[in-house]
Structure 1
Amino acid sequence: MLTPESRRRDFPSLEGRAYLNTAAEGIPPPAVAAALAQYAADKELGMDGRVRHAAEWDAVRRLTAEFYGLTADEIGVCSCSSEAYNLAALALRAKPGDEVVVNDLDFPAGATPWLQPDSPAAAKVWRNRGGALRVEDLVPLLGPRTRLVTVSLVSFFNGFAVRLPEVVAAVRKHSPALLAVDVTQALGRVPLDLTGADLIVSSTHKWILASHGGGLVGVPAARAADWTVPAGGWFHLEDAFGPNRFEAAVSKPGAASFAVGMPNYPAVYAVRAALEYLRGVGVEAIDRHARPLTLHCLEEVRKLPVELLTPAEPEHVAGILAFKHPRAAELHATLHAAGVHVMSHAGRLRVAVHGYNTADDLERFLRELRAAL
């Protein structure tokens, strides 16, 4: 991933293009395709294949635990981050008078379960200032009725990276709330220290370079009772097929309760291969390579006639930068035609820098963007 030779070997589809859109879709290495092929071969064994499926499931839980700083027993796998948050809303068992704090830099998955008309909890919005979520703006929203604070470690919108220890300290000091942290835009790209998070969620098709169809859930053992999902199903139940199965349904505690049905084993195989690949490269090595590229690009974009959405404070920058322009759609089309892939939405352009990106990719983007402007 970090050398010309390994890039050509592991990411041949990147030849001739500057792909800067990992925040939307990661490019999987060949090991992921091989894992999906292995799933197909194992599936052809019928029920005998389930032993192999279970081994992959266990491997994914162990690998995810390494990245999250937890144990395998504290990891669950569902189908996507949206499902994880909807199941979390069930587990929270909010009542009228409860409050949940969301923020305006978050992806909808983490915020919208508590914005539905039938949600009993009142949602408060932690609003950004200048593209940054300031802890001093969170504190007034916290109180004795706050049940949950949910935040992304890195914002999908503009790449702002929160200082998690500061958020944890504020939540603990000013409320009894649980803290949910979405690491979708961080996992596989930056080293993680998730100390103090009560619920950890990530999707699987972005920076970890796996497939769609996975949601990686972490629940520290001390919070298992707080995050036990009271949902129907079978895979997550203590005894789904026992003699009393039609008298009561008891969920396994904590992370295991988020796997409510038959696992999406193709995604499990893909995630195992992708996490093993990233572990082999090393997230610290990826960050050492990609961070200077991101900061250089941010500094150069600041000089252009665009509205920068990403705060220019290096300590709050991870792998994403974003800016607005009245002709964003036109700029996007021009860049794409020149082989430069970024994301465009509602007047916003977003650039994502991963370990397979190079200085040449960023210079190509900047050169084409200047010309288009």
Structure 2
Amino acid sequence: MSTLIPKRDFIGIEDVTHLATGGESPVLATNVAAVTRFLMDKGIGMPGRDRMYATADRARNSLAHLLNGTADEIALLWNATAGLHAVATGIVWRAGDNVVVGASEFPSLLHVWQGIGVEVRRVGSTPCPTTDEIAAAVDSRTRAIVVSHVSYLTGARSDLALLREIADRSCARLVVDASHALGVVPVDGSLCDVVVSCCYKWLLGTHGVGVLFVNSKRWPDLEPKAIGWNSVIPNEDWRRRDWFDLKASIEKFEAGNPSYISIYYLENALKTIASIGISRIEAHVLDLGAELRGGLLRLGVDLLTPKEIGKRAGNICFAIDRSEELESKLRQLRILTWGGDGRLRISVHAYNDQHDVQRVLDALRSLLT
């Protein structure tokens, strides 16, 4: 299991074992040229803006391919949370409505509903809520089932097809955060009403741009509540701007200019992912993850990530007190992981290999005994 992307293609990881993509991915060397291209385009006036639009369109097309959707279903917002806010404010709520979400979910998924006046039903007796627990919490007043495709906390992967069936039984929306899935495993947007994702993890992008995918077949009437100049059909006559028509396109969610420098970075990273193929990346990380998980099991740690192939992706996690201390000790050995929330998260991606897995296992064997 050698790397799918050579480590030399990144800045600063040839001499470290980088297993921290679940927090921050390393930087592709080609992104230096991508950012430089943005800087050059920014300085040439109106033709430069046209190139910015074209770059954003290419990024949307690449994301659409990963989401089994179309480019006109994808808005580029500032982050994933902005997409969740578009959903929370876009639903027409009635007294007695509820949202079902796992109690161990990322805080944005739990708290975005606060202040709306809707009941938030937090489910799960363990860090990995079961679909039975979710189904039991759903009723005729459930307006949305909100899940991470892959958990930031445990690495467990949700069954989107089964969740779609549960949502359809109550006419609820299926709202999915794919921040720990998109770029490493397939994400079938056709099963979802909305998918949001950050771009600085598994997509190998950076901060300042997030994905909002709105399934045009399942939710064609979702409208933004935050309106800006880019949300409306242009009217060049300033004397007639006392009214406006909202755009019919997905652009209506992009109230103003997005972070084009982040989009140039992302568009370049997406080309790298596309050149390998998401199926190859998934197979690679599942094989590495099986070896890593097996090694951790032999060390006797409290594993949080399921064994089954279809129930995990690139994150392998185990519960441990003082996880930040363990992360720091590993970092001193030039092994990058991610601590916090009472667990250590070890992430494998296309640039990792068996040597990386063996190195972290050897280090943990020494540190945990």
TM-score, normalising length: structure 1: 0.93
Root-mean-square deviation (Å) = 2.0
Task: Count residues with an aligned counterpart.
Answer: 368
Residue correspondence of structure 1 range 113-192 to structure 2 within 5 A: 113-114=112-113, 116=114, 118-129=115-126, 131-173=127-169, 175-192=170-187
Tell me the alpha carbon deviations over residues 320-370 of structure 1, each in whole angstroms, 9 at most, x when there is no partner.
111122342332221111111110114311111001001010100000011
1:360 and 2:359 matched: no
Change (3 A) 1:240 1:65: farther
Distance 1:313 1:126 in 2: 22
Deviation at 1:88, TM superposition (A): 1.7
User: Equivalent residue for 1:25?
Assistant: 24
Q: CA deviation at 1:249?
A: 4.2
Name 2:327's counterpart in structure 1.
Answer: 332
Deviation of residue 21 (structure 1)? 0.5
What do residues 12-48 of structure 1 show as CA deviations (whole Å, max 9, x unaligned)? Answer: 5211211100011111322222111100010111333
What is the Cα deviation at residue 243 of structure 1? 5.7
| Cα distance, 1:217 vs structure 2 | 1.3
Any residues of structure 2 matched to 1:217-256 within 5 Å, and which?
A: 217-239=212-234, 246-253=241-248, 255-256=250-251
Take 2:221 and 2:296, find their aligned partners in 1: how far apart are those partners?
44
- State the shift of 1:67 in Å: 0.8
Distance verdict in 2 for CA 1:342–1:163, change over 3 Å = same
Q: Please name the residue that 1:213 is paired with.
A: 208
Q: Which residue of 1 aligns with 2:50?
A: 51
Report which stretch shifted further, 187-196 or 53-62.
187-196
- Is contact 2:101–2:122 with CA below 8 Å preserved after alignment? yes
> What is the deviation of 1:81?
0.4
Residues 144/238 of structure 1: CA separation in 2 closer, same or farther (3 Å cut): farther
Q: C-alpha displacement at 1:307, in angstroms? A: 2.1
Cα distance in structure 1, aligned partners of 2:25 and 2:99: 31
CA distance, structure 1, for counterparts of residue 3 and residue 306 of structure 2: 30
Structure 2 residue corresponding to 1:265, chosen from 260, 266, 290: 260
Q: Is the 8 A contact 1:80 1:213 kept in 2?
A: yes
CA-to-aligned-CA distance 1:143-165 (integer Å, 9 cap, x gap): 22111111111011111001111
Q: Percent identity?
A: 31
Q: What's the counterpart of residue 303 of structure 2?
A: 308
Label 1:102 to 1:291 Cα distance change in 2 as closer, same or farther (>3 A): same
Contact 1:232–1:249 (CA<8 Å) still a contact in 2?
no
Q: TM-score, normalised by structure 2?
A: 0.94
Q: 1:94 to 1:240 in 2, by over 3 A?
A: farther
Distance 2:307 2:67 in 1: 27
Going from structure 1 to structure 2, the CA distance change for 1:93 and 1:33 (only over 3 Å counts) comes to farther
Call closer, same or farther: CA 1:72–1:314 in 2, change over 3 Å: closer
Structure 2: how far apart are the matches of 1:364 and 1:281? 25
Contact 2:11–2:29 (CA under 8 A) maintained in structure 1: no
Q: Which structure 1 segments of 5+ residues have no match?
A: none
1:299 paired with 2:290, answer no
Question: For the residues of structure 1 that align with 2:267 and 2:363, how far apart are their CA atoms?
Answer: 37
Aligned to 1:310, the other structure's residue is in SS state: coil
Confirm or deny: 8 A CA contact 2:69 2:190 kept in the other structure. Answer: no
Residues 285 and 313 of structure 2 are in contact (CA less than 8 Å); yes or no, is this contact kept in structure 1?
no
In the other structure, the counterpart of 1:99 is: 98
Distance 1:64-1:93 versus aligned 2 partners, 3 A rule: same
